[in-house]
Amino acid sequence: MSIQDFIKKSILESGAFDGASLTSIALGLVTAVLMGAVIYFIYSKFYVGVIYSRSFAITLVGMTVLTAMVTLAISTNIVISLGMVGALSIVRFRTAVKDPLDLLYLFWAITTGITSGAGMYLLVVITAVVMIGMIILFYNKQQKGRIYIAVIHYIGDEVGDNVIRTFGKMKYFVKSKTVRKGKTEMAVEVYCKDNDMFFLDKIRDLDGVEDATLIQYNGEYHG
């Protein structure tokens, strides 16, 4: 048996690339649209980054639908599937993902589109339930406390020791300390529960402290 006969019998005549019915195409695309809207809502509701990007949220919906369309096209025609491989192989994405969590949503949208196009609707629903539950769980845990960067300018080494003692039993980590002509700038990563920032007033009242600034930080505490 030649290679051409093998391909013809094993692939072309196997029924794997038979034309999909209009009902399956419509159901796949509708599922992709609905699940894309769900991903859009979850991303908008539980976003914890610095700057919310509405365009990225809309992209998640479009990515889900387009991926479902590509999956439907590939599963119905071997010629189109080979053409897609060649076309997508030259596509290069240069947009940097600023938040690792955005990458999670992006992969969720892509995999949802693939499974919707493949007709695995139960898998789509189960995965969505697991993802939503996981995101809500970690979101609620993160909301119990927030991380801030306290930038303090003071004069004198003893003042710096007093500033450190002010934090008491709070979780903190000295990230940087810069000395310029007798003046010191210290950046401290602080974990605060329930937005209790009483320590900032204590620091400002210390003798030798010129100013203290508190900046919300969306990273993870590692002190």
Mean pLDDT, rounded, for 36-54: 85
Instruction: Give residue-wise pLDDT tens across range 155-201.
Output: 887 888 888 888 877 788 888 888 887 788 888 888 777 666 777 77
The CA angle 50-53-59, to the nearest 5 degrees, is 145
Structure tokens at 92: 């290069």
DSSP state of 8: I
Structure tokens at 207: 């003798």
pLDDT at 223 over 70: no
- The residue ranges of every structural domain in the chain are 3-143, 145-217
Q: Full-prediction pTM beyond 0.85? A: no
Categorize the per-residue pLDDT at 1 as very low, low, confident or very high, splitting at 50, 70 and 90.
low
Instruction: Give residue-wise pLDDT tens across range 90-138.
Output: 455 555 666 778 888 989 998 999 898 888 899 999 999 999 999 988 8
Listing from the earlier edge strand, what are the strands of the sheet with 145-155?
171-180, 183-193, 145-155, 209-217
Topology adopted by domain 145-217: Alpha-Beta Plaits (3.30.70)
